[in-house]
Amino acid sequence: MAHAYWNDWYFGWGWFLWFGFVFLLFSSLGNWGYTYRAHQKFDKPPRKEAFDILDARYAKGEINREVYNQMKSEIAKE
């Protein structure tokens, strides 16, 4: 009797259930991987870019040393 059960399970509609389970598993893992990479990319604060802009303004002479140091410390707080 057990043999007939497994035979019906794999050769009937049981394969469809397993296919659905595997599909959901892979799609869930893919979705998790995509959202993980997206959050890694966009969750980082753009500190380096802010410091680069500040350094360029100081190098051009647009701001003096006092303003440069003040702005640098404010950026570092964020």
pLDDT at 12: 64
Q: Residue 47's pLDDT is what?
A: 60
Contact status, residue 54 vs residue 68, Cβ threshold 8 Å: yes
pLDDT per residue over 28-57, tens digit each?
988 888 888 877 766 666 567 888 999 999
Q: Report the mean per-residue pLDDT for the chain.
A: 79
Are 75 and 50 spatial neighbours (Cβ–Cβ below 8 Å)? Answer: yes
Q: What distance lies between CA 62 and its chain's CA centroid?
A: 37
Task: Tell me the residue length of the chain.
Answer: 78
- The span from the CA of 72 to the CA of 17, in Å, is 59
Long-range contacts, stretch 67-75, CB < 8 angstroms, 24+ apart: 75/47, 75/50, 75/51
pLDDT band at 68 (very low <50, low <70, confident <90, very high): very high
Domain boundaries, the chain: 1-43, 45-78
